[in-house]
Amino acid sequence: MKIGVVGASGYAGGELLRLLSNHPNFEITFITAYSNAGESINVLHPHLTEFEGQNFSAVNVEDLNKCDLVFTALPHGESAKLIEQLNEKVKIVDLGADYRLTDKSQWDKYYGGSYAGSWTYGLPELTDHQMIAKSKYVANPGCYATAIALSIAPVLAEIDSEDIVVVAASGTTGAGRTAKVNLIGSEVMNNLTSYKFGGVHQHTPEIEQVLTTISNKSVKISFTPILAPMPRGILATVTAKLNNSSSAAKLRTTFSDFYRESKFVSLLPEGQMPMTNSVLGTNNVSMQIALDSHVNRVVVSTAIDNLGKGAAGQAIQNANLMFNLAEDAGLELAGVR
């Protein structure tokens, strides 16, 4: 199947190229960029040696319409402008935010600009696989949204769903490739800092939306993101008040049963904690749970690669389902640590 990647010069776009280059069913046909069109792929992605001698192409609608599937990895607000020009026969997985939110008022509040509508939300562990398989257009979830929603989904029926507290740290690639003073090495190294403090992070409505959809309950989260001095990875700590007394063993059983069929989510053995470097370069999710009996709260620690399960890996997972392929095709990867 012929695949196009739009926005291939960015971090998520580069990870798409890396993973797709070893995919058994997908052939990368068009590798496009906007401001980096004409530049060598290896200049921006020197680790992708298999693309030596190739340059980023300019975005060309005629070329993209020859594809079976296009991945769009663009800043929010940019995907919709291009997608409205593409032929309806082309399947699309959008890694941006343009089609994630079903509520226009939430889009206006957290993003602004023209609202493009909503597509099938592609979080395969929480979205029915058949729904994704039947969809021509899939909105890939945000990285924080993926880690946080997966952390608390198994116990939504057992918690006060309006008292979910999240503290999550992400590597700098989550902010994209555009140069920013606060992201240069001299500023980031030996430093931790919160940002978008006080419930204003744009993934908040997305997380509440997906959890409300699967639980039919009102969901509210208090989310504090942290910038960590590392390039990639997310470690999320999610806690929630339990409605009734429980036990650590019962909670483990609940999580194990919920993710029993998952190819990518692993509940670690007791005493072993998730680490971001154990999922680096993969589509895997490492998870540990505990019961804080002092305050009767469930505590979940989850690690993902923000460019893997949080972006490119999950996009390919969705694409596999859209073409009725094995869910883990091209994603059977162990961590690189």
Looking at the structure, tell me whether residues 170 and 58 fall in a common domain: no
Domain count, the chain: 2
Is 19 inside any structural domain? yes
User: For position 177, what pLDDT does the model report?
Assistant: 63
pLDDT at 270: 95
Same domain, 300 and 153: yes
Mark whether 195 and 302 lie in a shared domain. yes
Inter-residue contact 288 to 267 (CB < 8 Å):
yes
pLDDT beneath 70: ranges in the chain: 177, 179, 337
- The domain that holds 204 is classified in CATH as 3.30.360.10
Cα–Cα separations (whole angstroms), residue 287 to 170, 227, 256: 16, 20, 10
One domain, residues 192 and 77? no
Torsion on CA atoms 206, 208, 210, 212, rounded to nearest 10: -150
Prediction pTM value: 0.95
Task: Look at residue 173 in the predicted model and tell me its pLDDT.
Answer: 85
Instruction: Determine the structural domain holding residue 243 and report its residue range.
Output: 144-306
C-alpha–C-alpha distance, residues 195 and 173, integer Å: 15
pLDDT tens, position by position, 224-262:
999 999 999 999 999 999 999 889 999 999 999 999 999
Residues annotated as catalytic (active site), given as ranges? 143
